[in-house]
Amino acid sequence: MPLYQSQKLRIQNSLSGKKEDFTPLNEGYVGMYVCGPTVYSNVHLGNCRTFMSFDMIFRYLKHLGYKVRYVRNITDAGHLVDDAEDGEDKIAKKARLEKLEPMEVVQRYTVDFHNILSQFNFLPPSIEPTATGHIIEQIEIIKDILDKGLAYEVNGSVYFDVAKFNETHEYGKLSGRKLEDMIANTRELAAQDEKNSPQDFALWKRAEPQHIMRWPSPWGDGFPGWHLECTAMSTKYLGETFDIHGGGMDLKFPHHECEIAQAEASYGQSPVRFWMHANMLTMNGKKMAKSTGNNILPGEIFTGDNDILSKAFSPSVVRFFMMQAHYTSILDLSNDALLASEKGYRKLMESIDVLGTLNTGNTTDFDIASWRQKCYDAMNDDFNTPILIANLFDAVKHINLIKEGKESISEIDKANLMTSMRTFSFEVLGLENESASKNESGKLSGVVELLIQLRKEARENKDFATSDKIRDELSALGIQLKDGKEGTTFSVS
């Protein structure tokens, strides 16, 4: 029986504003879409927090036994500077400033994004589609919305008609805004503005002659509006209605509100059953953001090469720091907070190492089954990782008491506790035991050094068959030996 049948998950749904029982549309399968990065600059730690929250969510859904199709896109076109409706494309602007091809910019920062995420031990999504790879799908949706009379074309651009849509649907239901209030609070349109109303948004923009990112369409050369790509890619891979759509809180309006409007206009039904929004990482109390300069890059934290923190912090320490906050709470980055997380992370990892060495007795002074259920209860309650971590530290306390001989644990309970501690720490929270990997690489070095010594002795004895065998077999395993003046060294590829 899959775990999800006994562990009842509840999720905070931004659409209803309530925590709701989670049951997917198709039993056993979950479709989840998360808005990915706009690849025009290095991801900062704030971006990573949102993606890490959804990595943890993906991990727990998988742990519960769901088959999850997780789609996280790459925005490589259509996202304009300042998230505006007019102006330059973020990627085209970077390409112009750095004298690069737009796709060179995209490639550079996509590689950076993947590199940082793998250092943080993220699981790759099931599909990672790009906006530029789905221009045809986006054009089809625009044609459909035009046919339904909910969009209009002006000079080669197409805009979504929010007021018309709102006559039969509810624009603003995700963000809790009312169209009348939005209208009352906005200034008049500038004379040159093509839109009927400031609330309308672009589905397709005409490309001016200098705009290099352009595609042919029924309305002339242009490029898609930012909100449209997510509607096209989520529904293409997950269906017209799917289980979970996530992103940072700052995307709720207008991005996700517009996604709902586009999908309802085109498909006639609400696209998403559970909208999930991750809260912001702040620094000095202000949102971490590229545009304000109030940000730090993960690489600067891992190397310690920055003016903000007193020392370097490893990816697992930063991950532990993030997991100590609930994904819907604001989290502030500071040196003190990271130092405290480092202590906590080390204590947890040491305790898992110690657990393996404990002597066992006939009885257990600690109810492992109910402790384990408390860990599940925390995660089932809208992925409450801080409570899960508090429970893990409850186990740490018992492990210490057992080590000191003040409590006892049976052989079978020790094995169960080990499995649960490892499952929650590594599989669900995605931490890595850095001291264990250091131990592993220490052991590997010891073994290779021994083989280098044996090879040296074989050569001294003119037993070249053995010395060549050692070199060739190591090479086949990806370990290259290099003979130099100082002796033999090795590298692992």
Which residues are near ligand AMP by CB under 6 A?
35, 37-38, 46-47, 49-50, 247-248, 250-251, 280-281, 287-289
* Tokens encoding 171: 């624009």
Q: Which H or E element spans position 457?
A: helix 434-460
Rounded CA-CA distance 142/227 in Å is 12
What is the 8-class DSSP label of residue 244?
Answer: E
288 binds, among Zn ion, ligand AMP, none (CB under 5 to 8 A by kind): ligand AMP
203 binds, among Zn ion, ligand AMP, none (CB under 5 to 8 A by kind): none
- What amino acid occupies position 231? T
Q: Calculate the dihedral angle through the C-alpha atoms of 246, 247, 251, 256, rounding to the nearest 10 degrees.
A: -20
50 binds, among ligand AMP, Zn ion, none (CB under 5 to 8 A by kind): ligand AMP
Q: Does 230 bind Zn ion (CB under 5 A)?
A: yes
Q: Give me the residue whose beta carbon is nearest to ligand AMP.
A: 248
Residue 172 or 248: the one with the smaller Cβ distance to ligand AMP is 248
Minimum Å gap between C-beta 119 and Zn ion is: 24
Minimum Å gap between C-beta 95 and ligand AMP is: 16
Residue 49 or 164: the one with the smaller Cβ distance to ligand AMP is 49
230 binds, among ligand AMP, Zn ion, none (CB under 5 to 8 A by kind): Zn ion
Give the contacts of 321 (CB within 8 A, at least 6 positions apart): 313, 331, 333, 337, 338, 341
Residue 335: CB atoms within 10 A of its CB come to 12
Distances (CA, A) of 355 to 141, 390, 395, 431, 436: 56, 18, 10, 17, 14
Residue 277 or 372: the one with the smaller Cβ distance to ligand AMP is 277
Minimum Å gap between C-beta 79 and Zn ion is: 9
Residue 33 or 152: the one with the smaller Cβ distance to ligand AMP is 33
Q: Does 56 bind Zn ion (CB under 5 A)?
A: no
Residue 231 or 385: the one with the smaller Cβ distance to Zn ion is 231
387 binds, among ligand AMP, Zn ion, none (CB under 5 to 8 A by kind): none
Residue 50 or 157: the one with the smaller Cβ distance to ligand AMP is 50
Minimum Å gap between C-beta 247 and ligand AMP is: 4
With contact defined as beta carbons under 8 Å apart, do 160 and 201 qualify?
A: yes
Minimum Å gap between C-beta 332 and ligand AMP is: 11
Residue 263 or 288: the one with the smaller Cβ distance to ligand AMP is 288
Minimum Å gap between C-beta 251 and ligand AMP is: 5
Rounded CA-CA distance 48/208 in Å is 34
Q: Does 232 bind Zn ion (CB under 5 A)?
A: no
Minimum Å gap between C-beta 281 and ligand AMP is: 4
Minimum Å gap between C-beta 278 and ligand AMP is: 6
- Going by C-alpha positions, the residue among 50, 20, 22 that lies closest to residue 35 is 50
What is the 8-class DSSP label of residue 328?
Answer: T
49 binds, among ligand AMP, Zn ion, none (CB under 5 to 8 A by kind): ligand AMP
* Tokens encoding 394: 């409850």
Residue 225 or 298: the one with the smaller Cβ distance to Zn ion is 225
Minimum Å gap between C-beta 289 and ligand AMP is: 6
Distance, CA of 140 to chain centre: 29
280 binds, among ligand AMP, Zn ion, none (CB under 5 to 8 A by kind): ligand AMP
Distance, CA of 146 to chain centre: 34
Give the contacts of 234 (CB within 8 A, at least 6 positions apart): 33, 71, 242, 245, 259, 271, 272
Distances (CA, A) of 122 to 327, 411, 493: 16, 33, 22
Residue 230 or 451: the one with the smaller Cβ distance to Zn ion is 230
Give the contacts of 320 (CB within 8 A, at least 6 positions apart): 341, 344, 345, 348, 389, 429, 431
- Going by C-alpha positions, the residue among 365, 480, 350, 372 that lies closest to residue 417 is 372
Q: What is the DSSP string of 51-100?
A: HHHHHHHHHHHHHTT-EEEEEE-BB-S--BGGG-SSS-BHHHHHHHHHT-
Minimum Å gap between C-beta 199 and ligand AMP is: 22
Residue 35 or 39: the one with the smaller Cβ distance to Zn ion is 35
Q: Does 228 bind Zn ion (CB under 5 A)?
A: no
**Candidate list 11, 32, 34, 35; residue touching Zn ion; CB under 5 A:** 35
With contact defined as beta carbons under 8 Å apart, do 26 and 276 qualify?
A: no
Residue 95 or 230: the one with the smaller Cβ distance to Zn ion is 230
377 binds, among Zn ion, ligand AMP, none (CB under 5 to 8 A by kind): none
Rounded CA-CA distance 30/60 in Å is 12
47 binds, among ligand AMP, Zn ion, none (CB under 5 to 8 A by kind): ligand AMP
Q: Does 52 bind Zn ion (CB under 5 A)?
A: no
409-423 CB burial, b ≥16 within 10 A, e <16: beeebbebbeebbee
Minimum Å gap between C-beta 75 and Zn ion is: 7
Minimum Å gap between C-beta 275 and ligand AMP is: 13
Rounded CA-CA distance 372/323 in Å is 18
Residue 260 or 402: the one with the smaller Cβ distance to ligand AMP is 260
Query: Rule CB under 5 A: which residues touch Zn ion?
Result: 35, 230
